Chain A
Amino acid sequence: MYIQLLLTGISMGMLYALMAMGLIFIVKAVGVLNFAHGQLFMLGGYIAWMYTYQAGLPLIGVVICTIITFALLGVLYMFTVYWPLRNSKWKVTVTISTIGASIALKELVRIIWGSIPLTLEPIYSDILRVGTAYLNYQYLFIIGIGGILIFGVYVLFEKTFIGKIMQATAQDRYAAELLGVPTIVAISCTYMISLCLSGLGGWLAAPLFLVSQSLGSMAQKAFAGIVLGGFGNVKGAIIGCLLIGLIESFSVIITDSYKDAVVFLVLIIVLVVKPTGILGQNIYEKA
């Protein structure tokens, strides 16, 4: 039973981590909280469902098409929700416009696909037996694919040229512009990667939770993971999210209905004891 809880916890943590990474990239690049991230995650599930059943593509095709769709959507999203507001004095306006986007996305999905939950077949539909525990193979796939994606994004950011451009833009946009970095490209790329991560996360999560509008509420756990892990660093956010996943799955031992409350209670206790989060140093927000 403990192995089962451990594995489900880690895989849930992976899903949160995929979202949290995207969120952190956007926060670092443009200093904006993206409240539509949960809805984009949900959209990932729906898009994957569309490619599997409505277009009838094989698995590989679904993955590639989902990535391409979300990359395009990332650019579109950037130009509608962030770009017109980039010069506004108040960062709050961009935050509010992402809330607007989240409402619009939710309703768009409801109008197109209806409000009845849809089922998506898991990648390999069988159940693994570990001792006395039963585990859906999908959880293992989530851990595997999530790990690969996180590693891939790490390589992309640290080792490639475009990654350095994105980092430069995130650190100091003005200086980057002076050095001739095309910041518009860099920000677009950041949005593309961020949305692809959440879209693929939605595709991975869909077989476990049904494709429905309530998938969007998972983003709040990703928020919690970011705060728990520490300030604005990606490593901290991933560790925080994995912890949130584990806390959530192990809290079943104590209580069933208070699963969410336990998560947020731990979060607030950690904040009171160590306000910089687990991995946080004393980095203050950029002025």
Chain B
Amino acid sequence: MKNNKIETIKLVGYILKIFIFIMVFTVIPNKSVTNNYMMKVINEGLVYFIAVLGLSVILGMGGQVTFSTAGIMGFGAYICAILTTRYEIHTLTALLIALFIGGILSYLIGLALFRLKGTYFAFASIGLTQLLSTVMSNWVEVTGGPDGIGKIPKLDIFVFRCTNYYEYFRVYSVIALLCGFFVQRIRKTNLGRALVSIRDDELAAQCMGVNVYHTKVLSFLISGVFACLAGGLYAFHSGYISPEPFSFDQSAIYLIMIMLGGVDSTFGAFIGAMLLTILPEKMRFLAEYYKLIYGAGVIVLMVVMPMGIMGLYNNLQHRIHNIIKKRKQGEVEELRGEVADIGGDFIRS
């Protein structure tokens, strides 16, 4: 009886989620609801969400701070751009090639960098991003230097040809949803649990038979593939890339995104990415003080809710559950009291 109730609640929840998604999917990409510019911003938010998902695997599950996201994202973006503009390869093929090469690259880099631990790994990943962005802005023959690469063709997935930002939104939201499900799935696999155990205590994880080094490298590979995907989507969406959005500062912003949303949850990554992309547009009235307030806000955020918005939400939920539990217990106690009055002491023991 009780189980049935829970099942029904879960089912209703799922239906509600699907319903909300369909609503969002159909309502948002309309000219009357969002204008062209806002649509572009939201699409960029989706792209950042995919990049941040990679971070949620390596940082949220594995506890490794990395600053390589933007660098590898740039790598993916440049491969897509070069393949499609210079060699005129079909966009989807170019994207897949970028994912493949990006995966191999991040696996090799992971093998090298994870010989370092903790803070020193973070140091080295800064070096990696710097190296990649220096190459991007200096290798003029291939990357176009500071001018970047323009005229990147629009994304074309057989049936779905994206011609404007509204169509991009439809395709990207599906891709983002699939990526989200993928990460949600990883949480419940061997790999996810091994990563969480590494985050909580590396030594204990090793004692339990987790191959720490290999698991970390694997998580770096997954986050690298996500970053490459995000980079490729970014390149097709904006049609023009330059080294600037793939710099070290942008990596720091991705870290802030995931910490804002909640490092432990997939939905938190979504909230963080969306908030930090849309908020600057809505905060235009602050003008030059915006960044100052933003910086100070990050510090306050870390103090007030270190686990991000989703952490705060879970905390509240937990508390409400506790209150309800206590009330129920109170009722039980009352009943017990009555029973005890009638039937003697044996129930209590």
Using a CB–CB distance below 8 Å, which chain A residues touch chain B? 27, 31, 33, 35, 80-81, 84-85, 88-90, 92-97, 99-108, 110-111, 220, 223-224, 226-227, 231-232, 257-258, 260-261, 264-265, 267-268, 271-272, 275, 284-285, 287
Contacts and interface: CB of A to CB of B under 8 A. Distances in A.
Contacts of B291: 103-104, 106-107
Contact of A33 (B113, B122, B248): B122
A100 B293 CA distance: 10
A9 to B, nearest CB: 19
B259 A96 contact: yes
B83 interface: no
A85 B127 contact: no
B194 interface: no
Contact of B259 (A93, A232, A268, A271): A93
B256 interface: yes
B291 to A, nearest CB: 4
Given A35-B252, A92-B65, A261-B138, A100 B302 contact: yes
Nearest to A259: B134
A31 B295 contact: no
A261 B135 contact: yes
A27 B118 CA distance: 11
Contacts of A88: 302, 306
Interface in B271-315: 288-289, 291-292, 294-299, 301-303, 306
Contact of A268 (B119, B124, B255, B297): B124
Nearest to A261: B134
A97 B131 contact: no
Contacts of A227: 116, 120, 123-124, 127
A101 B295 CA distance: 6
Interface in B216-270: 248, 252, 255-256, 259, 263
B59 interface: yes
B306 A93 contact: yes
A264 B130 contact: yes
Nearest to B301: A100
B65 A265 contact: no
Nearest to B294: A103
In the complex, which range does the number of interface residues on chain B fall in? 35 or more
Contacts of A85: 302-303, 306
A14 B240 CA distance: 40
Contact of B296 (A100, A110, A264): A100
15 contacts: A85-B303, A88-B306, A90-B306, A96-B256, A96-B259, A103-B298, A104-B292, A104-B294, A107-B288, A220-B126, A224-B127, A227-B127, A272-B112, A275-B115, A285-B117
A268 B294 contact: no
A35 B127 CA distance: 14
Given A97-B298, A97-B303, 5 more contacts: A27-B119, A93-B306, A100-B298, A258-B134, A275-B115
B299 A80 contact: yes
Contact of A260 (B115, B120, B134, B288): B134
A108 B296 CA distance: 10
Nearest to B60: A92
Contacts of B130: 220, 224, 260, 264
B295 A100 contact: yes
B130 to A, nearest CB: 5
Contact of B302 (A94, A106, A226): A94
A24 to B, nearest CB: 10
